[in-house]
Amino acid sequence: MHEFNNIEVNVTYDFDTLTIQTIYGIETMFVENCMLVSRVRLNN
């Protein structure tokens, strides 16, 4: 559970920097983060 919680925190930080990522046009990062969030929530 602690490992999954840490992953959630990391993903949250990734979404906080989403604006910067979009400026550079890194759309794949957003897609990967969305998939990671869904996996983490399913595992929890």
Total of domains in the chain: 1
CA distance from start to end of the chain: 7
Q: Cβ distance 40 to 8 under 8 Å?
A: yes
**DSSP-H helix ranges across 1-44:** 2-16, 18-23, 27-43
Structural domain of 37 = 2-43
pLDDT at 28: 59
Tokens 């990671």 — which residue? Answer: 36
pLDDT at 1: 46
- What digits encode the pLDDT tens for the residues 1-44? 455 555 555 555 555 565 555 555 555 566 666 667 766 666 65
